Amino acid sequence: MNRSFKSIRSARSLASLASAANLALTVVAGAAALLAGACAPDKMPFPEGETHTFATLNEDGSAKPDGLAVSAHDLNLGYQSYTRYCYACHGVKGDGHGPASYGLRPPPRNFTLGIFKFARLRSSDELPNDADLKYIVKNGLHGSAMLAWDIPDEELGRVLNYIKTFAPQKWEKTKKNGDHVKTLEVFEAPADPWASKEVEAIARGQELYHLKAECLNCHPSYLGKEDLFKLSTVAAKREPDTFKAIGGFRDDPHGSVAKDSAEYAVRLLPPDFTFNQVRSIHPGSEINDLFRLISFGVYPIMPAWKGSLEDKDIWAIAHYVKSLIDLRSNPAAAAKLKDGFEAQKGFEIPKAPEPAPVVDATPTDTAPADPKATGARKDDPKAVDPKAKDPKTSGVKKAPVTQ
Ligand code: HEC
Ligand code: HEC
C-alpha cells in the first residue's frame, strides 16, 4: 500500500492549535483508512462491460459532446484507491459521513452534491476540470483535515472519476440533444502586472479591499476607523453619511461575519488573514492562488470578482492579502497593526454641517393654532380649545410671512 501524505510544507501550518487538533483527527482518520484498505470487500461495484460517461473537455479546450467514457475496470480501480485513501472521511456513499468524519470542522465534502468550494465554480451548473481537482487533492486544504495527498497522477485521475459517480445528476448529465455538458476550461492566470512594484500593488490592494471590492463586509477591516473614514471620503470622494454603510463601521469591524451554509452543513467564518489559515493558498504560490480565488470566489459563499474588477486590480488585492498572510509569521507587526485599531476606536464620523434653517414661504394671514399647545387638530373645529384663540395663553405663534 503506497499511501503517503506530503510533508506539511511549512512550520506555519502547525502554528495554530486548531491545526494540531485537525492533525490528530487526521491520524485517526488515516488509521481508519488503512484498516478499511486492508479489509476492502472483494466485490467490485461496477460489473464488467458497464461504462460511465462524464463531462469533460478535449485537450485543445474544445467541447467534447460525447463526454469521457470510463470503463468498469478503471472505475473499480478508482473505487479501490478511494477506499484506501478517501473513504474514511468522505464515506462509502461519498456523502462526507465516513467513520472518521465525526467532529471534523469543516466537515469532509459531500460528493453527492457535485459542488466544490475552491474549484472555480460560479454557478451550480458548472463543473470543475480534473486539473483543478488534482491541484486541490495534491496540495490539500490547510487548517482542515484534508491533507495533501501524494498519489500518482494516473491513480488520482481514477479516484476522481470514481468520485464523479456519486453525483451522476451533474457529471453524467446530457443536454436535450444528447450532448454531455462540459467542464470548466483549464485555468491559466494572466501575467501579474505588479511583479516589480510590490509597494504600489499593496497600497492599491488595500484601498480596493476596503472600498470598491468591499471585502471588509465579511472579512475584517485592517484599517482603524479614522483611516477608513479618510480613505472613504478623501480617496473615493464619498459623502460622509453614505460612508456609514461601510463594513468598517459594523459593531466589530476587525472581526469576521460568519456565513450560514446549507451546502457545506456548517457556518463558515471568513478568515482573518493575519491569524487563520487559508485553505487553498499554498506557501510559495500565494499570489497566484489568491488571484484565482479572488477571481472565482468560494462557491457559493464568497462572490467572484472576475468581470466586476479588472485583472490588474484583482492582482493588487492578491498582493495586499499576501502581505496580511505574511503577518502570521511576524506577530510583532500584527500586534502593531491591531494597536493602531485600538488607538482609533473612539473615532466618530464628523457631523455634517447643520443645514441652513428652512424658511416657510407660504403666504398666510391667519395664524394656525399650535396643535401641541391645544391638543387638537386645527381642521376639527369642535375639538379646538376656545382658550387657544388667545395667543398669550395658547402659545399660538404667527407664522413668519415673507412676501
Ligand atoms: C482525514 C479526512 C479526509 C480524508 C482522508 C480525505 N479528505 Fe478530502 N476533505 C476533507 C475535508 C475536511 C474537506 C473539506 C475542507 C473544507 O471544506 O474546507 C475535504 C474536501 C475535499 C474536496 C473538496 C474541495 C473543494 O474545493 O470543495 C475534495 C475534492 C476532496 N476532499 C478529495 C479527497 C480525496 C480524493 C481524498 C482521498 C485521496 C480525500 N479527499 C481524503 C477531509 C478528508
Ligand atoms: C459575502 C462574504 C464575503 C465577501 C464579500 C468576501 N469573502 Fe472571502 N470568504 C468568505 C467566506 C465565508 C470564506 C470562507 C470559506 C471557507 O473557508 O469555507 C472566505 C474565504 C476567503 C479566503 C480564503 C480562501 C481559502 O483558501 O481558505 C480568501 C483569501 C478570501 N476569502 C479573500 C477575499 C477577498 C480578497 C475579498 C474581497 C475581494 C473577499 N474575500 C470577500 C466570504 C466573503
94 CA to centre of ligand 2 in angstroms: 26
What is the distance between the alpha carbons of residues 211 and 317, in angstroms, rounded to a whole number?
Answer: 11
What is the distance between the alpha carbons of residues 161 and 165, in angstroms, rounded to a whole number?
Answer: 7
> Does residue 333 contact residue 364 with C-beta atoms inside 8 Å?
no
Higher pLDDT, 361 or 186: 186
Cis geometry, peptide bond prior to residue 300 (ω within 30 degrees of 0): yes
**Minimum-distance ligand to the CA of 212?**
2
With a cut of 80, say whether residue 60 has pLDDT above it: no
Nearest CA among 252, 245, 231, 234 for reference residue 320: 231
With a cut of 60, say whether residue 289 has pLDDT above it: yes
pLDDT over 70 for what percent of the chain? Answer: 71
283 CA to centre of ligand 2 in angstroms: 18
Nearest CA among 238, 219, 218, 217 for reference residue 229: 238
Query: What's the distance, CA 122 to chain centroid?
Result: 12
308-334 per-position pLDDT tens digit: 999 999 999 999 999 999 999 999 999
Among 5, 90, 104, say which to mutate for ligand 1: greatest number of ligand atoms within 8 Å of CB. 90
Beta-carbon count within 10 A of 237 CB: 7
Ligand 1 pocket check for 218: Cβ under 6 Å: no
Among 218, 321, 322, say which to mutate for ligand 2: greatest number of ligand atoms within 8 Å of CB. 218
Q: Which of 130-139, 146-155, 344-353 has the lowest mean pLDDT?
A: 344-353
The band of 107, judged by pLDDT with boundaries at 50, 70 and 90, is very high
> Does residue 126 contact residue 182 with C-beta atoms inside 8 Å?
no
The ligand 2 atom nearest the CA atom of 281: 26
Among 104, 105, 122, 219, say which to mutate for ligand 2: greatest number of ligand atoms within 8 Å of CB. 219
The band of 233, judged by pLDDT with boundaries at 50, 70 and 90, is confident
Average pLDDT over all residues of the chain: 80
* 101, 118, 228, 285 from 139: Cα distances, Å: 20, 12, 36, 11
Higher pLDDT, 401 or 88: 88
> Does residue 216 contact residue 210 with C-beta atoms inside 8 Å?
yes
The band of 394, judged by pLDDT with boundaries at 50, 70 and 90, is very low
68-78 per-position pLDDT tens digit: 999 999 999 99
Q: Identify the pLDDT of residue 61.
A: 60
